[in-house]
Structure 1
Amino acid sequence: MNLPKKFEDRMMELLKEEFPLYKKTFEDTRYGGIRVNTLKISTEEFEKICPFEIRKIPWIPNGYFYNLSDQPAKHPYYYAGLYYIQEPSAMTPASILEIEEGDKVLDLCAAPGGKSTELAAKLNGTGILVTNDISNSRAKALLKNVELYGIRNAVITNEDSVKLKKFFPEFFDKILVDAPCSGEGMFRKDATIVKNWENQGVEYYSELQKEIILNAADMLKPGGMLLYSTCTFSPEENEATIEHLLNERPDFSIEEIPMKEGFATGRPEWINGREDLKRCVRLWPHKIEGEGHFLALLRKKKDSLIEATEDRYIGKKVKLPEEFYEFLKDINFDFDEDRFVLREDKIYYNPDVNIPDKGIRIIRGGFFLGEIKKKRFEPSQSFAMGLSKVDFNNIIDLDSKENDVIKYLKCETIELNKEHKNGWYLICVEGYPLGWGKVIGQTLKNKYQAGWRWL
């Protein structure tokens, strides 16, 4: 790869004797990574059934390297949401941010959703995840991944940080800001990023990041934690952004990040900055098996004068069509009926936390269960993906090695080899839900979401 001379000269200046080692990484093959979705399967179980060769990523508890010759996105387990394909270094921010069950969590710059899916797995169905992206097209990709990975407690928004701050002042326990950046750490992975770097430059992103991180800081509760990350090397976008936050919001401090093999400290000397910036972490492609990344973990000082407020969901029971309740007879877990919401014939299940429902662009508010069509209930794809095999009475379980599972994922009708009672079935691959089907005699009418079909 021909790197821009301006970039190469700057990296030589920063890295000095390490620069040849960094430059040599462009001759190496990049690393492929998958992260196991622990909402659906444990790492131990995944290792038993994984259909291709993997090895552990040392610094990610549920992360694995895979051979680039394999195609994990072309296996039914991917369509079941058992794993997310993600560059190994990019797994680090969500792994480091400690999430407790019941937390209110914000992923501010979330699309396409890799970090959000891990944050949701840590929440384990409790609390709330507000996952946001300013781009409408990218927010739609984020929606698909939230649904594919079986997340039931998410609200997906499409706003800028200035607008969100007005609606969520000091609201969140944890915030992840994977900020838009110049992408220097991903040059090896994607050569098109180099052109963006030449067009936009470091300065553009540096100013944008300073605005975003201050808005994020104002949405964090006292005592809360904020994880800032980028996939760039530029100190103006990294240490300088953190120093800007500390200067503007003196109630923040930098927390230690546990150092793993290959991790490097922040470099305050590159901006003539404060000594505690060394607590930040840099991931370099010549030191780990991954691309470039920067991370800073920050805590907001706890203010004991602020009183805790009641923020659990307070709703009123709505009258829903009988067809919906008839369908629920085959569901094997209890819903809190006060959290059902009916919007234009669509039924949602709200997270157990109050959030604003007007004034901000919400792509998806809560767990979408399905819709009423001509006096019948049609369950949604997201409803299927948010269930486990034991949650529904009627199951058809397909073998990942047989052709029927591919036919199902291609939205084709399947002829069954034995009689089933008529009605709705949760279609699984070896026990992991893929979607819905409706049986009539020995014919399975395919209800897999057309926009997700196997291509």
Structure 2
Amino acid sequence: MKERKISEEFLNRMKNLLGEEEYEAYLRSFDEERLYGLRVNTLKITPEKFTEMTTLKLEPVPWILNGFYYEGEERPAKDPYYYAGLYYLQEPSAMTPASLLSVVPGDKVLDLCAAPGGKSTELGAKLKGKGLLVSNDISNSRAKALLKNLELWGIENICVTSEEPKKLKETFGEFFDKILVDAPCSGEGMFRKDADMVKSYEEHGPEYYAGIQREIMDQAVDMLAPGGLLLYSTCTFSACENEDIISRTLDCHEEMELIKLPLFEGASSGIGLPGCLRLFPHKIRGEGHFMALLKKKDCTAGDGIFGKTGSKQPPLPDELSDFLSMVSKPMERSRIRIKNDAVYYLPELFPENTSGLRYLRTGLLLGEMKKGRFDPGQAFAMTLKPEEFRQAISWEKQDERVIRYLKGETIFLKEGEEPIKGWCLVCVEGFPLGFAKGGGSTLKNKYYPGWRWQ
């Protein structure tokens, strides 16, 4: 076993949990290399098409349709396709919770503990631009990373908040059709992947997190609409953070019932609570995880807020209307809002009577009104296709101008390329990277500085 100062208390508990033979197999898993994974953004590309395009050496994750293993020496975060939002780097087992929550376009979805966005990006891709995704993280700094990942993926029907679950419950009530609770936990399942998790575990063990998890689940249940589904997950092994939390939720909330999750090769059923799902690193090619799916019985009338955008708004400024005339993507003008010169496109199901929340983003940031002009934003560019913008240019990934653009440099057009004047959507092999402003033979770079290639 690799050198990690793991407490005897934890090891003894794992031996009791697994039995002697399985326990030895679990210990041997520490001698194996950690695994690396990426998940393809199905909002932009099919897994089949992506595997044809990429030069990465990929192997499918058997239980995730759009998940792949990649080699540890690869550098997928230094690839233009990553900057185009075509995939998210994620440990294979961590892909499982969002894959098991059956989100469909039009749902109202809450990811309650969402940062840095691995699960929210998958939930947003499943919505396909319809409905609403509220992604929340109590940490404001972590929520900023969450927002970047959602915008990089081109997900427009988002609201990103940084609130305690109790505040969200007081605001929304029984509003959401689907809720994912990837609860803060002691992280026992990540010991092989991240030795620092062992240090954190010594400071706060399972009992500490169990109290937090119970409170979060109570708030989540109260925000779930009748007939809705709630997926609870952790990356730990302790029963007091897993099956005990689910049993306690069922005992305290008679309106909730456990829905059996399907087993797949290498997965294990819950310990003492059949229907839950456990992943162990000695049984699958991934780290440790726990999942349980609950449903709220359709027996009560929901009391959630049901606001809908579409109220009459003042005419749009001419400079904004002029820019939007270049966009052929269908957009409802009644959902456009301007606040402090920032221009937003609200989700179709956005409840507008939630202004008391601490929002990092309400909908898609289209851009900003400046003196006599409108400057489109990076997030807007990531939601477009080349054919949806009047003026677009696309380069092959090997073209040195792709990296230069991502670094924020001015770009010079080559002989034979049409002169470009005004706003232009810059793409790599047909996938948007951002905006530029043409001056004929040059493109003034408008790539967002905070996202630049380092």
Q: TM-score range by the shorter chain?
A: over 0.9
Q: Determine whether 1:244 maps to 2:248.
A: yes
1:302 pairs, out of 298, 303, 307, with 298
TM-score (norm 1): 0.96
Counterpart for residue 230 of structure 1: 234
2:286 pairs, out of 265, 290, 293, with 290
- C-alpha separation in 2, matches of 1:101 and 1:190: 35
TM-score (norm 2): 0.96
Counterpart for residue 354 of structure 2: 357
Residues 347-373 of structure 1, C-alpha deviation per residue, up to 9 Å, x if partnerless? Answer: 100001132331110110011000011
Identical pairs, percent: 53
User: Structure 2, unaligned stretches of length 5 or more?
Assistant: none
Identify if the C-alpha distance between structure 1 residues 230 and 392 changes in structure 2 by more than 3 Å, giving closer, same or farther: same
Q: Determine whether 1:26 maps to 2:26.
A: no
Q: Does structure 1 retain, via aligned residues, the 8 Å contact 2:61–2:69?
A: yes
Identify if the C-alpha distance between structure 1 residues 234 and 289 changes in structure 2 by more than 3 Å, giving closer, same or farther: same
AA aligned to 2:151 is: E
2:402 pairs, out of 391, 402, 405, with 405
Identify if the C-alpha distance between structure 1 residues 209 and 306 changes in structure 2 by more than 3 Å, giving closer, same or farther: closer
Identify if the C-alpha distance between structure 1 residues 369 and 5 changes in structure 2 by more than 3 Å, giving closer, same or farther: same
Deviation of residue 30 (structure 1)? 1.1
1:345 pairs, out of 328, 335, 341, with 341
AA aligned to 1:331 is: V
Q: Determine whether 1:256 maps to 2:260.
A: yes
Q: Does structure 2 retain, via aligned residues, the 8 Å contact 1:318–1:338?
A: no
Q: Does structure 1 retain, via aligned residues, the 8 Å contact 2:132–2:350?
A: no
Deviation of residue 311 (structure 1)? 4.5
1:380 pairs, out of 372, 377, 380, with 377
AA aligned to 2:385 is: S
Deviation of residue 310 (structure 1)? 5.5
Residues 370-393 of structure 1, C-alpha deviation per residue, up to 9 Å, x if partnerless? Answer: 001111110000000011122111
Counterpart for residue 313 of structure 1: 309
Within 5 Å, which residues of 2 pair with 1:384-399? 384-399=381-396
AA aligned to 1:212 is: I
Counterpart for residue 427 of structure 2: 428
- C-alpha separation in 1, matches of 2:206 and 2:250: 21
- C-alpha separation in 2, matches of 1:248 and 1:448: 51
- C-alpha separation in 2, matches of 1:182 and 1:399: 45
Q: Does structure 1 retain, via aligned residues, the 8 Å contact 2:234–2:290?
A: yes
Tell me which stretches of 4 or more aligned residues in structure 1 moved more than 4 Å.
304-311
Identify if the C-alpha distance between structure 1 residues 304 and 216 changes in structure 2 by more than 3 Å, giving closer, same or farther: closer
Counterpart for residue 323 of structure 1: 319
Counterpart for residue 10 of structure 1: 13
Q: Does structure 2 retain, via aligned residues, the 8 Å contact 1:314–1:354?
A: no
Deviation of residue 318 (structure 1)? 2.8
AA aligned to 2:73 is: S
Counterpart for residue 89 of structure 2: 85
How many residue pairs were aligned? 447
Q: Does structure 2 retain, via aligned residues, the 8 Å contact 1:40–1:388?
A: no
Identify if the C-alpha distance between structure 1 residues 307 and 10 changes in structure 2 by more than 3 Å, giving closer, same or farther: closer
Residues 120-178 of structure 1, C-alpha deviation per residue, up to 9 Å, x if partnerless? Answer: 11100000000000000000000100110000100000001011000111100000000
Residues 106-130 of structure 1, C-alpha deviation per residue, up to 9 Å, x if partnerless? Answer: 0000000010000011100000000
For the residue of structure 2 that corresponds to 1:204, the secondary structure is helix
- C-alpha separation in 1, matches of 2:300 and 2:226: 8
